[in-house]
Amino acid sequence: MNQPEEKFMKLAIQAAEESAANGDYGHGAVIIKDGEVIATGYETLKSANDPVNGHAEIDAIRKACQELGQPYLQDCIMYCTAEPCPMCMSAIIWAKMESVAYAITRDDMIAEMERLKKESGGNFSWRQIAIPAEYIVKHGEPKVTLFPGFMHEESQKLFDLTGK
Size of the site for Zn ion (CB under 5 A): 4
Sketch the per residue contact string, 43 through 82, with Zn ion: x for CB under 5 A, - otherwise.
Answer: ------------x---------------------------
Our CB check for Zn ion shows the closer of 69 and 144 to be 144
* CA distances, 128 to each of 4, 46, 87, 104 (Å): 27, 16, 11, 15
Catalytic residue among 57, 67, 119, 141: 57
- One of 60, 61, 64, 85 touching Zn ion (CB under 5 A): 85
First to last CA, the chain: 38
Whether 18 is a known active-site residue: answer no
Listed in order, strand segments (DSSP E) in 13-149 are 28-33, 36-42, 76-82, 99-104, 145-148
Angle at CA of residue 8, ends 103 and 71, nearest 5° = 95
The CA distance from 134 to 32, in Å, is 21
Our CB check for Zn ion shows the closer of 8 and 25 to be 25
- In the complex, minimum distance from the CB of residue 118 to Zn ion, in angstroms, rounded to a whole number: 25
Residue 88 sits in the site that holds Zn ion (CB under 5 A): yes
Interface residues with Zn ion (CB under 5 A) are 55, 85, 87-88
**Which residues are the active-site residues?**
57
